[in-house]
Structure 1
């Protein structure tokens, strides 16, 4: 009987110890904004810190996001081994418009908007050939806020943003935010200064990776540093 009581006591202590242990952080729910305005997903103390330089009008970026998002989050971000920072590299006015909208509102929801725009890139970019020269001229003439609003209107981005609770005045306020535009364009300048000349490109722990533009190539680079 004493032996049974001792076993029960040990089991009870073990259960109490487990109950007292803090839950493991959900690193996929950990989002932080860096001083330059870019967004980081995951453990801030991860041994491998990946920076992705991205353009929303780059088809290779959309393909990378489709291939990489699930394995990155499950195998690397979730256990806290890797963090991922998305930094903008703006290529054109459409790209800037989408970047402004991805950065609109609650910054904790940035990755939800980022992934949604990437996942639907083929649909909204597929409209490009249907626009008249007069429509496209509105994207590059006049005040910058008017250009971005014209792009948002033509590509159906007002309806997209409405799904996330943004009415038209709220979207217009984001597109007319000069501080946000400067932050995004400064990220582009910072990337160019580092030597980034194509998208997607990647850095690990601050070092730009050569000849690394696909998920398979980046995965190899991550594994080499684990």
Structure 2
């Protein structure tokens, strides 16, 4: 199963109407992301947004995953399929894995900002925590509750409240992240999560055996 994604001319409106961020003492309103057209998004500087990747840069296969931290099918993939793929193909130098965040909602964006707050070295560790605790931190659905739950994950990853406040209230970075997501998803024709692009070919979500068959065929060729 997959979660459907709709990319329109105002993809940034997915988290429009104001992004609400909270500090550890009281509720505050962070910078609004607003509704930005595709043309406006193309003018946003995204050069500061790091591509999160693991595996050998010179691996014979490049695999890109498009996923949302609020997508239950993505969480299932990361819990049940990705560990074996990582052990058999990424850790062995056969696959270069690139993870690209998709933002269905502001909660997924906040989770991405939190994961990136830990830096490249901690990104995938925090991502694993976000997926394994997805039901916990999304429980309740209220913004203040969710951001406090995200802070709990951040603290477990060794981040201070001041560090998280700075990251979660960085409106420029938030807009750049969403603009880059919009650009990449449009270029790769992504319409659901999780989706995968393996050496330029798009695939829907599948089980480990199906991934293995595709990867082994490419390696043999």
Normalising by structure 1, report the TM-score: 0.69
Q: List structure 1 runs of 4+ shifted beyond 4 angstroms.
A: none
* CA–CA separation in structure 1 for the residues paired with 2:118 and 2:89: 28
1:221 deviates by 2.1
Aligned length: 171
* CA–CA separation in structure 2 for the residues paired with 1:187 and 1:54: 14
Gaps of 5+ in 1: 1-33, 140-148
Aligned equivalent of 2:186, options 184, 189, 192: 192
* 2:54 matches 1:41: yes
1:163 deviates by 1.6
* CA–CA separation in structure 2 for the residues paired with 1:76 and 1:193: 26
* 2:182 matches 1:169: no
* 2:147 matches 1:152: yes
Normalising by structure 2, report the TM-score: 0.70
Equivalent pair of 2:137/2:146 in contact (CA under 8 Å): no
Equivalent pair of 2:129/2:153 in contact (CA under 8 Å): no
Aligned-CA RMSD value: 2.0
Q: Identify, as 1 or 2, the structure richer in helix.
A: 1
* 2:206 matches 1:214: yes
Q: Secondary structure at the match of 2:205?
A: coil
* CA–CA separation in structure 1 for the residues paired with 2:68 and 2:195: 10
- Of structures 1 and 2, the one with the larger relative CO (CA 8 A, separation 6+) is 2
Q: Identify, as 1 or 2, the structure richer in strand.
A: 2
1:37 deviates by 2.4
Residues 101 and 36 from structure 1, CA distance in 2 versus in 1: closer, same or farther, beyond 3 angstroms?
A: closer
Residues 163 and 36 from structure 1, CA distance in 2 versus in 1: closer, same or farther, beyond 3 angstroms?
A: closer
- The equivalent residue for 2:29 is none
1:123 deviates by 2.1
